[in-house]
Structure 1
Amino acid sequence: MARIPLAATRPARGGVTAVAEVDGNTVDGHVVTNTGRTVITVRNADASNPHSVTFVLPQTIDGQAVADRVVSIPASATRTFGGFVTEWYSQRLSIDVDSTQLKLQALEP
């Protein structure tokens, strides 16, 4: 199935309201436009268990797939990620999660 688009908040001098968190989709995953400056915030709403977010690297080097970046988010923690180089992650950043307890937001500065 198609990945679920993740809307990104674009800041402005006058201020803007951030887009609402999106529940992680464990079946289809998510995709967001990536300029290389895209910022992804992941909140683990599970108070007891860590969960993993995966940033897909659609690359091959010398015919070998590059391993995706998998990061464990501790229980009740929030992590912010950025610096998704478009040459590595593409202009459409694909994100997978292992739980709907992970809540996602995107910022496009």
Structure 2
Amino acid sequence: MARVAVPVTAITKAGVAPATEVNGDPVNGHSIANGGSTFIVARNNGATPRTVTINLQGSVDGQPITARTVPVPATASRYIGPFDTTRYGSSIEVQVDHADLKLLAFRTA
């Protein structure tokens, strides 16, 4: 199946309404449009620590680049980013290890 898209909310000087969280999908993963100023909010809705994994694009000497992992403590949030397009591409690939994780994405306007 295709990755679940997480909508990106542009933050403006005029302000924006709160974005709607996307439930974590540990089976299909997520994709987030990336313009270089994108960041992710990962909120752990559970009582157990969880992990967000962000894939990097490309390779070094023919070897894939190791994905970046970010631990999210129980009942806590982590703000992750920004993601330059050279290393992360125009679409950020995100995996979560459990549906307890809720995702939001933002970018500066």
TM above 0.5, one fold? yes
The structure 1 segments of at least 4 consecutive aligned residues displaced by more than 3 Å after TM superposition are none
2:101 is aligned to 102
TM-score by length of 1: 0.94
- Which residue identity lines up with residue 95 of structure 2 in the other structure? D
Displacement after TM superposition at 1:102 (Å):
0.3
| Partner-residue secondary structure (3-state), 2:86 | helix
TM-score by length of 2: 0.94
Unaligned runs of 5+ residues in structure 2 are: none
Displacement after TM superposition at 1:89 (Å):
0.6
Q: Distance in 2 between matches of 1:76 and 1:18?
A: 19
Unaligned runs of 5+ residues in structure 1 are: none
Q: What are the residue-to-residue correspondences of 1:1-109 with 2, within 5 Å?
A: 1-47=1-47, 49-109=48-108
Q: Distance in 1 between matches of 2:55 and 2:33?
A: 13
Q: Distance in 2 between matches of 1:43 and 1:8?
A: 16
The CA deviation string for residues 43-99 of structure 1, in whole angstroms up to 9 with x for no partner, is 10112x100100011221110000000111111110001121111110100100000
Q: Distance in 1 between matches of 2:15 and 2:73?
A: 31
- Which residue identity lines up with residue 22 of structure 2 in the other structure? V
| Partner-residue secondary structure (3-state), 1:10 | strand
Across the two proteins, how many residue pairs are aligned to each other? 108
| Partner-residue secondary structure (3-state), 1:87 | helix
| Partner-residue secondary structure (3-state), 2:37 | coil
| RMSD (Å), alpha carbons | 0.9
